Structure formats: C-alpha cells, structure tokens
Structure 1
C-alpha cells in the first residue's frame, strides 16, 4: 500500500511530461526560412515554463516517507526492483535520500513512464 497519494503522483507525471517535452531555446538562423524557424522553436523552453518549479514544490511538500516512495516508484517502474521487493526498495530510497530529490527525479527523461508503470504495478492508474 502506498503512503503517497496516487493523485499526487499522477500530477508529478503530468509535470514531468511537460518538462521533458521542452527543449533549450535557440536563436533562429537568419539564413533559414521563418516558417522553419517557427516550427523549430514551438517546443522551446521559455521563462514562462513553470513545470519544474511546480514539480519541485510538490516534492518538497511531501513528507520524507512519501518522497522515498516516489523514488521507489521510479525504480520499480524502471524495472530495477519487483513489487515483491517494495519494502526493501523504499528502505533503500530512504537510505539514499537527499534534499535534491526533485532534481534526481526530473533528471530521468523517462520519469513519467517509470512513475506510471510503478503506479500500475500497485494497482493505480492516472485518468
């Protein structure tokens, strides 16, 4: 049974997807067609992108044991551990905890997929 609210994890999944779809902003080349420049820059990251800030806030607002479970869900969904090893996986996440949990999580480009898979293994689905 999870101590972290599955709805919270679903929100983290949404934010991770929004964050990882972004690309670093680039300056259009004057030699290129402006239409090409527009299509290249549609997904560029801009200062108004707040997905990471919200992601980090949610993680920091979680109780430590809930943060451990989110990390354990990542590992479970990635296939590092099985559901039968859940308690020991959470214990390992507790031992390896750092204040940089949000950054550790978001550094995984497939985080949304891993969290979703981890939730599904626990019997939960995001709408």
Structure 2
C-alpha cells in the first residue's frame, strides 16, 4: 500500500511543473527520498502513464526496485510529462491531494 506521503508527491509535481527553473531542487528532492519512497514514486508515475493498473501497485513497486539501473531522480526527470503522470497515478490510486496542493501553494 502507499507509504510515500501525498504531500511529498505533490511537492514533486509542483517542482516538475516549474521546469528548468526548479530542476536542481527537484533533482535533490527526489535524490533525498529513501529507497522505498523512490520505488513508490516510480510506481505512481508508471500507473499514471498506463504502464500498470492501480491494482498492480505492489507489482509496479517491486518492478521499480528490481529493474532500477539509473538513479531514480535521473530516470523520473527524463520522463516526459512527469507531473501529469504523477497526478494521474494518484488519481487512479484514489488519493485525494486537494488539501496538500492548497497547503503548498
């Protein structure tokens, strides 16, 4: 089940939306996450882009762990539409982040 906090994912979404202005900050923020959060973040992005279904979350996390060949921050920052994928992934998982978005804006 989802252990990464929705607020953490929302922070990454907001940084990703800022593009090159926040690139260094986004890179450092993702790099500072623990291994479990990195795997879950990757799984959320994969669900959001349609690589996995929401009910396959645990499998997506396991795949993220076993198939990681580059640093998560580099992989995710190279993903087109990262912010949109994370938003769609959270939505698919039934995670409402309205409060977190308001708190961070």
Category of TM-score, reference length = shorter chain: 0.7 to 0.9
Segments of structure 2 that go 5 or more residues without pairing to the other structure are none
Match of 1:59 among 17, 30, 37: 30
Match of 2:80 among 99, 109, 121: 109
Where 2:30 maps in the other structure, the secondary structure is helix
CA distance in 1, matches of 2:80, 2:6: 20
Segments of structure 1 that go 5 or more residues without pairing to the other structure are 23-48
TM-score by length of 1: 0.71
Where 1:9 maps in the other structure, the secondary structure is helix
Over the residues paired in the alignment, what is the CA RMSD in angstroms?
Answer: 1.4
Equivalent residue, structure 1, for 2:56: 85
Q: Map 1:27-42 onto structure 2 (within 5 A).
A: none
- Per-residue CA deviation, residues 74-108 of structure 1 (Å, 9 max, x unaligned), is 10000111011111110000012245211111112
- The structure with the larger Rg is 1
Where does structure 1 differ by over 6 angstroms across 4 or more consecutive aligned residues?
none
- Per-residue CA deviation, residues 47-93 of structure 1 (Å, 9 max, x unaligned), is xx3x1111111111111011001111110000111011111110000
